[in-house]
Structure 1
Amino acid sequence: MTLSKLDQAALAAGIAVEFINAKGEPESISDDTKRALLAVMETPEGKAPPLPPVQVFTPGRQRHLLPQGKGEFRWQLQSEQGKAFSGIIQGGESLALPPRLPQGYHLFTLYQGRKQWQTRIIIAPRRCYLPQPLEQGEKRWGALVQLYTLRSDRNWGIGDFGDLQQMVAHIAANGGDFVGLNPLHALYPAQPQYASPYSPTSRRWLNVLYIDIHQVAAFEQSHEAQRWWQLAKTRKALQKARDSEWVDYIAVATLKITALRFAWQACQPDADFQQFVVEGGDHLRYQAAFDGILAERAADHPDEWGWQNWPESWRNAHLPEVQQWCSEHEEEIQFWSWLQWLAQQQFAACWQRSQQLGMAVGLYRDLAVGVAQHSAETWQDPQLYKLGASVGAPPDRLGPLGQNWALPPLDPHVLRARGYQPFIDLLRANMRDCGALRIDHVMALLRLWWIPYGEGAEKGAYVSYPVEELMAILALESQRHRCMVIGEDLGTVPPIIVRMMRSYGIFSWKVLFFEQERDGRYRQPTAYPRQSIASASTHDLPTLSGFWQAGDLALGEQLGIYRGSVLQSLQQQRDTQKQALLDALQQAGAMPARDAKPVQKQPMTPKLNLAMHRFLAQTESALLGLQPEDWLGMTSPVNVPGTVDEYPNWRRKLDVTLEAMFADKTVKQVLKAVSKGRKEG
Structure 2
Amino acid sequence: MTNSLIEKLVELRGIESNYVDAWGDAVQISDDTKSMLLGAMGYDVENEEALEKRISDDIDKSWMSPLNPVQVNREHEALIIPVRLPIELVNDAFSFVITTEQGKTHSVNFVPSDGELINSVDIDDIEFQEYVVQIKETMPLGYHQVVLNADDGDTLAQMRWIIAPQRCYIPDDIDNGKKVWGLSVQLYCLRSERNWGVGDFTDLSYLLGQAGRQGAQFVGLNPVHALYPANPNGCSPYSPSSRRWLNFIYIDVTAIAGFEHESVQKIVNSHEFQATLNHAREIDYVDYEAVTRLKLQALNAIFEVQYETLVNQKTEQNKAFTAFIEEGGESLEMLATFDAIQESLTKEGKPAWGWPVFPKEYNEFQNPAVVKFRKNNASRVTFFMFLQWQAALQLEQANQAAQDAGMQIGIYRDLAVGVSEGSAEIWGNRSLYVTDASVGAPPDVLGPLGQNWGLPPMDPQELYQQAYQPIVDLFSANMQSSGALRIDHVMALLRLWWVPKGEKADKGGYVYYPVNDLLAILALESHRHQSLVIGEDLGTVPDEIVTMLRENGIHSYRVFFFEQAEDGGFYSPSHYPEQSMSTLTTHDMPTLTGYWHCLDLELGNELNLYPSAEVLENLYHSRHENKQRILDTLHGHGAIPEWTDRSAEGMAMHKQLNHGMQYHMAKGSSALLSLQLEDWLEMDKPVNIPGTSSEYPNWKRKLTRNLEQIFTDPTLNNLALGLTEARNSVSKPKQS
Instruction: Say which is worse superposed, 519-528 or 476-485, in terms of deviation.
Output: 519-528
Correspondence 1:257 to 2:296:
yes
Q: What residue is the counterpart of 1:202 in the other structure? A: 242
Match of 1:58 among 74, 78, 88: 74
Match of 2:95 among 74, 89, 104: 74
Read off the aligned partner of 1:91 and give its amino acid letter: P
1:663 aligned counterpart, secondary structure: coil
Q: What residue is the counterpart of 2:615 in the other structure? A: 566
Once the 2 structures are TM-superposed, how far is the Cα of residue 26 of structure 1 from its aligned partner? 4.1
Q: What residue is the counterpart of 1:88 in the other structure? A: 109
Name the CA distance, whole Å, in 1 between partners of 2:553 and 2:29.
35
Check whether the contact 2:687–2:699 (CA below 8 A) recurs between aligned residues. Answer: yes
Describe the shift of the 1:288–1:118 C-alpha distance in structure 2 as closer, same or farther (beyond 3 A).
same
Correspondence 1:105 to 2:143:
yes
| Identical aligned residues as a percent | 44
Once the 2 structures are TM-superposed, how far is the Cα of residue 296 of structure 1 from its aligned partner? 1.4
Describe the shift of the 1:399–1:159 C-alpha distance in structure 2 as closer, same or farther (beyond 3 A).
closer
Match of 1:376 among 407, 424, 428: 424
1:404 aligned counterpart, secondary structure: strand
Name the CA distance, whole Å, in 2 between partners of 1:87 and 1:550.
67
Read off the aligned partner of 2:30 and give its amino acid letter: I
Name the CA distance, whole Å, in 2 between partners of 1:417 and 1:399.
35
Describe the shift of the 1:395–1:491 C-alpha distance in structure 2 as closer, same or farther (beyond 3 A).
closer
Once the 2 structures are TM-superposed, how far is the Cα of residue 39 of structure 1 from its aligned partner? 5.6
Read off the aligned partner of 1:311 and give its amino acid letter: P
Q: What residue is the counterpart of 2:256 in the other structure? A: 216
Correspondence 1:245 to 2:284:
yes
Check whether the contact 2:444–2:539 (CA below 8 A) recurs between aligned residues. Answer: no
Name the CA distance, whole Å, in 2 between partners of 1:125 and 1:152.
42
Once the 2 structures are TM-superposed, how far is the Cα of residue 209 of structure 1 from its aligned partner? 0.3
Check whether the contact 1:292–1:333 (CA below 8 A) recurs between aligned residues. Answer: yes
CA deviation map 1:367-395 (0-9, x unaligned): 00000011101111101112122111234
2:694 aligned counterpart, secondary structure: coil
Read off the aligned partner of 1:378 and give its amino acid letter: I
Q: What residue is the counterpart of 1:545 in the other structure? A: 593
Instruction: Say which is worse superposed, 134-143 or 302-311, in terms of deviation.
Output: 302-311
CA deviation map 1:256-285 (0-9, x unaligned): 000000000001222111110011111111
1:138 aligned counterpart, secondary structure: coil
Check whether the contact 1:355–1:362 (CA below 8 A) recurs between aligned residues. Answer: yes
Match of 2:455 among 374, 396, 407: 407
Q: What residue is the counterpart of 1:608 in the other structure? A: 657
Q: What residue is the counterpart of 1:476 in the other structure? A: 524
Name the CA distance, whole Å, in 1 between partners of 2:500 and 2:439.
9
Read off the aligned partner of 1:602 and give its amino acid letter: M
Q: What residue is the counterpart of 1:646 in the other structure? A: 695
Uncovered stretches (5+) of structure 1, i.e. residues with no partner = none
Q: What residue is the counterpart of 2:324 in the other structure? A: 276
Name the CA distance, whole Å, in 2 between partners of 1:161 and 1:151.
12
Name the CA distance, whole Å, in 2 between partners of 1:336 and 1:20.
46
Check whether the contact 1:15–1:34 (CA below 8 A) recurs between aligned residues. Answer: no
Read off the aligned partner of 1:500 and give its amino acid letter: M
Describe the shift of the 1:548–1:3 C-alpha distance in structure 2 as closer, same or farther (beyond 3 A).
same
CA deviation map 1:153-198 (0-9, x unaligned): 0000000001000000110111111100000000011111010000
Check whether the contact 2:496–2:511 (CA below 8 A) recurs between aligned residues. Answer: yes
1:68 aligned counterpart, secondary structure: strand
Check whether the contact 1:37–1:389 (CA below 8 A) recurs between aligned residues. Answer: no
Name the CA distance, whole Å, in 1 between partners of 2:646 and 2:363.
62
Name the CA distance, whole Å, in 2 between partners of 1:531 and 1:654.
31
2:83 aligned counterpart, secondary structure: coil
2:715 aligned counterpart, secondary structure: helix
Q: What residue is the counterpart of 2:733 in the other structure? A: none
Correspondence 1:499 to 2:499:
no
Q: What residue is the counterpart of 2:10 in the other structure? A: 10
Read off the aligned partner of 2:91 and give its amino acid letter: G
Match of 1:173 among 209, 213, 232: 213
Match of 1:636 among 685, 689, 704: 685
Correspondence 1:150 to 2:190:
yes
Correspondence 1:349 to 2:349:
no
Read off the aligned partner of 1:266 and give its amino acid letter: V
Name the CA distance, whole Å, in 2 between partners of 1:147 and 1:302.
32
Alignment TM-score, normalising by the size of structure 2: 0.89
Q: What residue is the counterpart of 2:119 in the other structure? A: none
Correspondence 1:391 to 2:405:
no
Q: What residue is the counterpart of 1:25 in the other structure? A: 26
Read off the aligned partner of 1:546 and give its amino acid letter: G
Describe the shift of the 1:18–1:137 C-alpha distance in structure 2 as closer, same or farther (beyond 3 A).
closer
Read off the aligned partner of 2:191 and give its amino acid letter: R
Alignment TM-score, normalising by the size of structure 1: 0.96
Instruction: Say which is worse superposed, 84-93 or 244-253, in terms of deviation.
Output: 84-93
Read off the aligned partner of 1:206 and give its amino acid letter: L
Name the CA distance, whole Å, in 2 between partners of 1:23 and 1:436.
32
Once the 2 structures are TM-superposed, how far is the Cα of residue 588 of structure 1 from its aligned partner? 1.4
Match of 2:411 among 348, 353, 363: 363
Check whether the contact 2:74–2:166 (CA below 8 A) recurs between aligned residues. Answer: yes
Name the CA distance, whole Å, in 1 between partners of 2:596 and 2:499.
37
Once the 2 structures are TM-superposed, how far is the Cα of residue 621 of structure 1 from its aligned partner? 0.5
Check whether the contact 1:606–1:666 (CA below 8 A) recurs between aligned residues. Answer: no
CA deviation map 1:80-125 (0-9, x unaligned): 1111111322224243324321111111111236451111111111
Name the CA distance, whole Å, in 1 between partners of 2:207 and 2:351.
36
Name the CA distance, whole Å, in 2 between partners of 1:87 and 1:564.
70
Name the CA distance, whole Å, in 2 between partners of 1:465 and 1:326.
36
Check whether the contact 1:7–1:17 (CA below 8 A) recurs between aligned residues. Answer: no
Describe the shift of the 1:39–1:532 C-alpha distance in structure 2 as closer, same or farther (beyond 3 A).
closer
Read off the aligned partner of 2:522 and give its amino acid letter: L
2:432 aligned counterpart, secondary structure: coil
Query: How many residues end up aligned between the 2 structures?
Result: 680
1:594 aligned counterpart, secondary structure: coil
1:4 aligned counterpart, secondary structure: helix
Name the CA distance, whole Å, in 2 between partners of 1:549 and 1:437.
33
Check whether the contact 2:351–2:357 (CA below 8 A) recurs between aligned residues. Answer: no
Check whether the contact 2:40–2:434 (CA below 8 A) recurs between aligned residues. Answer: no
Read off the aligned partner of 2:360 and give its amino acid letter: E
Q: What residue is the counterpart of 2:729 in the other structure? A: 680
Check whether the contact 2:36–2:500 (CA below 8 A) recurs between aligned residues. Answer: no
Name the CA distance, whole Å, in 2 between partners of 1:399 and 1:440.
16
Uncovered stretches (5+) of structure 2, i.e. residues with no partner = 44-54, 116-131, 311-317, 731-736
1:219 aligned counterpart, secondary structure: coil
Read off the aligned partner of 1:129 and give its amino acid letter: Y
Name the CA distance, whole Å, in 2 between partners of 1:529 and 1:448.
25
Q: 5 Å matches for 1:331-350?
A: 331-350=379-398
Q: What residue is the counterpart of 2:50 in the other structure? A: none
Name the CA distance, whole Å, in 2 between partners of 1:27 and 1:297.
46
Match of 1:117 among 154, 157, 170: 157
Name the CA distance, whole Å, in 1 between partners of 2:677 and 2:37.
45
Instruction: Say which is worse superposed, 54-63 or 316-325, in terms of deviation.
Output: 54-63
Check whether the contact 2:345–2:351 (CA below 8 A) recurs between aligned residues. Answer: no
Correspondence 1:193 to 2:209:
no
Q: What residue is the counterpart of 2:224 in the other structure? A: 184
CA deviation map 1:483-540 (0-9, x unaligned): 0100000122111110011101100011111111111111112111110011110000
Instruction: Say which is worse superposed, 98-107 or 574-583, in terms of deviation.
Output: 98-107
Name the CA distance, whole Å, in 1 between partners of 2:444 and 2:217.
37
1:625 aligned counterpart, secondary structure: strand
